[in-house]
Structure 1
Amino acid sequence: MDLQVLKEIIREQKAVFEAEGPEGLIEREALKKVSEFLKLPHVLVISGLRRSGKSTLLKQIHKNFYGEELVYYLNFEDERLIGFEAGDFNLLYETFIELFGKSQVFFFDEIQNVEGWELFVRRMYERGFKFIITGSNSSFLSRELGTRLTGRYVGLELYPFSFLEFLKFKGIPSPKEPLTEERGLIKGAFNEYLEKGGIPEYLRFENAELLKTLYENILYKDILVRYGLGDEKALRELALYLFSNYSSEINYSKLQKMLGLGSANTVKNYIGYLENSYMVFTIPKYDFSLKKQIYAPKKVYAIDSAFINLISFKFSRDRGRMLENLVFLELKRRNMELYYHRARKECDFIVTENEKPVEAIQVTMALTGNREREYGVLLEALEAYGLEKGLILTETEEFEETIRGKKIIVKPIWKWLLE
């Protein structure tokens, strides 16, 4: 690595990193978790979708927890660092000291771009240095963390804006018991959130080209190039299919035939690559038999409503499925272990703790003309797993009642999102 180029990059990035952000920049809810993690000596690893706010979160961590303290910062997404290798970390550390003096804290952005980075981090961690790092690929991060940093790190996944963060972004208050006018504003914002999603940069500029560029960068840089895939057409067709069939079951064998890929296992790998890049997520069917659970079809969900509206076929934008996808993402933010239930009927979500079912959730637009079906779905799941109460999330309805000895709680999705 050329030393003069490295110095130039470090100085430029430091100026940008420490500059005040644009007006209206909201503090992420993840800062609450960060405050607990920073009490530990462990490496803090923040992962998530590209452009979901990881770099901004690093700035907020710096501002809120380190103040005027000197920290070393480098973003490895800079194209001038393409030649940077693991062996250059010592030069980097020496250069930081030369330019700014001594510090015990490193902030590294998009660290997965440097193969072998974990060797330097482990060595310096053992010497008492603190690391806060981000990455956009869960597989590469977990593989490296698992082999070199086992027991030495804590992880935090950052998703696009939650509904609460979206309301802050729009300047709309979110009291626990909103009055009539406040409810009207919140409901209007909920409809907008369902359409536009929560990717911060897209919400700020509302330019579809930004989403298209982000989508292309993820497919090309994070998947095709990183994994050395030769069949770009199959990957693009698969991504289109998944974004058009969100909130639905998928079958690897059927997809293999449809895409003309070598085997169902190849399809599984491709979906895994999309998952690693935080584009889509899959959840398994819950079964007391692990073998049946493994072989049962999975359900797929998309990272954000804006991507669904950009990429999917227009006929696939079913509001009911959009609502289900939204609920799924919030459950992921709350770090829930998720499955779906299917026997005679299908219940959208089974929440587990230590693989034991603790909650059943069904999502529907409305119960009007639909109550018997939705109650039947939820009750089947409650009885199957010995649960005493279940939750039905709708757009507007709110009440509770007891059916067949089971408590049914019905609540508006927008209100549940604010809990």
Structure 2
Amino acid sequence: MSSREILRHLVIQQKNQIEKGGDYIERSILPEVLDAFSDNRVLILTGIRRCGKSTLLKQIMQTKTRYCYINFEDERLLDFRAEDFETLNEVLFEVYGMPDIYFFDEIQNIDRFETFVRRLQDQGKKVVITGSNATLLSQEFGTRLTGRYKLFEVYPFSFAEFLRFNRIGTGRDSPYLIEERVRLISAFETYTQTGGMPEYLKNSDPDYIRTLYDNILYRDIIARYSIRRQRLVRELVSMLASSISLPFTYNSLKKTLGLKNAITVKEYISYLSGAYLFFELSKFDYSVKKQLNSPRKIYMIDNAFGILNGFSCSPNTGRLLENIVFVELLRRESKVYYYSGDHECDFIIRCGRKITRAIQVCHELNNDNEDREIGGLLEAMDSFGLLEGIILTSHQEETRKLGDSTITLQPVWKWLIEESTGYTITLGHAEKDKEKTPDRSRTGTADQLL
């Protein structure tokens, strides 16, 4: 049990820290989160450790009054129990006055936290929480707060945020001005290797990424799920990290790891996905059964973690690009799949019941891979009645007309800028994209979130 005096010292110290302010890079998701303050639903900001959730909370606080804050990661809260919430609430009243908004950082560390959150919500309070495990949060809220919360997934810096971090401005004409274009290409080459973890970009210390990586594996996977076979988990993670963008099956991994059944592999990968370290990509099929039984592809939250595992040699450039594109699609789309028929297409996007986009990614389109890359894209387009498709590369830029189909080749860096600004950047001009930006939040039950 935490004493009132300890709680008071902790709350006052944390209050002083958050009120110091700082030079923050505004996150692109901030306006959407602020818009969600219009009702009394609980707001959940979830994402991998150290991706900027706490900083995002501070940015939100700068726009609000009558709030209170506590970070449950503090070691002085190791003995905190559900019965301590009432004492904590009294301390928060003493330190902050009469709060209307409660900000809770990493609250999933506390058992039965959702009961207290539900009580606050019933009292008309706005509650905003962060967490680094989507599975745990969705399980708890799916039980106690079905339909009464809204979840936002926070990722490491996008390329647009990376540019803001490095104070590199962009405008609709930037890709056509030589100096700005060179600066953007150079920045993207760096981003491909460093990824977007904010603290790593500040200190450029590989030991920071290694330590963070180990903390995620131990605290969010091994310790949280009481896994005894630690070596097995690390072997699985190394295999997945070296297989970015490649298909796999649970059975194939089971055999490689020398396990008796594939259920263990499936469980471990679900833990890694819940901690936002890896993501599985399903093959699209109208049959749910076939979709579940088909090979999946694996992607990683940030290239820095992949490179830490030795995934940095030049032949892998195309796969690093593909990983960047996949994570960007996660930021912007709700349903992403890969297509596989006679040929393969890296990504197809579903909006509602329709497939609306087909995207292929490669380092360079050349004579050796042209039939495979274009063939896979055209087959996916034909399957879903699409007249336009895109191939994202390191540097190529052109438009090809093949019968009734149009294929656009575009550098990944330019596509990322286009996606973030809403401007369609073509060879000759820039137009404002008329399509509405997808809502990147999620509302609903645990089953809908997983």
TM-score (norm 2): 0.90
1:337 to 310, 335, 338: 335
User: Alignment partner of 1:151: what SS?
Assistant: coil
1:8 maps to 9
1:193 alignment partner, one of 182, 191, 194:
191
Work out the CA distance in 1 between the residues paired with 2:208 and 2:382.
Answer: 47
1:250 deviation in Å?
Answer: 1.3
1:145 aligned onto 2:141: yes
- What is aligned with 2:115? 119
Structure 1 distance, partners of 2:145, 2:363, is 45
Uncovered stretches (5+) of structure 2, i.e. residues with no partner:
419-450
- Which structure has more RCO (C-alpha within 8 Å, separation ≥ 6)? 2
* Matched residue, 1:384: 383
- Matched residues in 2 for 1:157 and 1:262: separation? 35
Residue deviations 1:292-314 (CA, integer Å, cap 9, x gap): 10100110001101111112355
Deviations 1:146-204 (A, max 9, x none): 11111111110000000000011111111122111100000000000000000000000
Partner letter of residue 320 of structure 2?
M
Within a 5 Å distance, the mapping from 1:288-299 to structure 2 comes to 288-299=286-297
The amino acid across from 1:372 in the alignment is D
Measure, in 1, the Cα distance between the counterparts of 2:403 and 2:372: 15
Q: Indicate how the Cα distance of structure 1 residues 312 and 251 shifts in structure 2: closer, same or farther if over 3 A, else same.
A: farther
CA shift digits 1:277-323 (9 cap, x unpaired): 00000110001111110100110001101111112355596001001
Aligned partner of 2:190: which letter?
Answer: E
CA drift of 1:75 comes to: 0.4
Looking at structure 2, the residues matched to 313 and 186 of structure 1 have their Cα atoms a distance apart, in angstroms, of: 24
Indicate the percent of aligned positions where both proteins have the same amino acid: 46
Question: How large is the Cα RMSD of the aligned pairs?
Answer: 1.3
Query: Partner letter of residue 285 of structure 1?
Result: K
**More deviation in 151-160 or 400-409?**
400-409
Distance in 2 of aligned mates of 1:222 and 1:316: 32
Cα distance in structure 2, aligned partners of 1:143 and 1:392: 38
Structure 1: distance between partners of 2:315 and 2:233: 21
CA contact (8 A) 2:343 2:372 kept: no
TM-score by length of 1: 0.96
- TM-aligned CA deviation for residue 100 of structure 1: 2.9
- Contact map agreement 1:285 1:340 (CA 8 A) in 2: yes
**More deviation, 257-266/142-151:** 257-266
Q: Is the 8 A contact 2:282 2:294 kept in 1?
A: yes
Question: How far off is 1:249 after superposition?
Answer: 0.7
2:160 aligns with 164
Number of matched pairs? 414
Aligned to 1:90: 86
Q: Which deviates further from its counterpart, 80-89 or 368-377?
A: 368-377
The answer to whether the 8 Å contact 1:284/1:297 transfers is yes
Q: Which residue of 1 aligns with 2:127?
A: 131
**8 Å Cα contact 2:279/2:299 also seen in 1:** yes
Report SS of the residue matched to 1:318: helix
Question: In structure 1, what residue type is equivalent to 2:168?
Answer: I
- Counterpart code for 1:52: C
Find the counterpart in structure 2 of residue 176 from structure 1. Answer: 172
Deviations, residues 31-85 of structure 1 (Å, cap 9, x unaligned): 121121112221110000000000000000001x21xx23110001111101111
Structure 1: tracts of 5 or more residues without a match? none
CA 1:245–1:355: 2 relative to 1, 3 Å: farther
Q: Please tell me whether residue 311 in structure 1 is matched to residue 312 in structure 2.
A: no
Matching residue of 1:50: 49
2:57/2:103 contact within 8 Å kept: yes
Select which of 265, 270, 273 maps to 1:272: 270
- Secondary structure of the residue aligned to 2:189 is helix
Write the distance in 2 (CA, Å) between the matches of 1:314 and 1:385: 35
Distance 1:61 1:391 in 2: 36
Q: Secondary structure of 2:104's match?
A: strand
Q: Is the 8 A contact 1:309 1:317 kept in 2?
A: no
The answer to whether the Cα contact below 8 Å between 1:244 and 1:316 also exists between their aligned partners in 2 is no
In the other structure, the counterpart of 2:105 is: 109
User: What is the distance in 1 between the residues matched to 2:414 and 2:378?
Assistant: 23
Alignment partners' CA distance in 1, 2:250 and 2:238:
15
Alpha-carbon distance in structure 1 between the residues aligned to 2:315 and 2:373: 21
Question: 1:350-401 CA distances to partner (integer Å, 9 max, x unpaired)?
Answer: 1001243111100011223233332111001111122221111112222223
CA distance in 2, matches of 1:381, 1:55: 41
Once residues 314 and 79 of structure 2 are traced to their aligned partners in structure 1, the CA distance between those partners, rounded to angstroms, is: 43
CA distances 1:259-279 after superposition (whole Å, capped 9, x unpaired): 133410110110000000000
CA distance in 2, matches of 1:136, 1:261: 29
Equivalent residue letter for 2:55:
T
Q: Which deviates more, 163-172 or 98-107?
A: 98-107
Counterparts of 2:74 and 2:399, CA distance in 1:
54
Which residue does 2:396 correspond to in 1? 397
Secondary structure at the aligned position of 2:372 is classed as helix
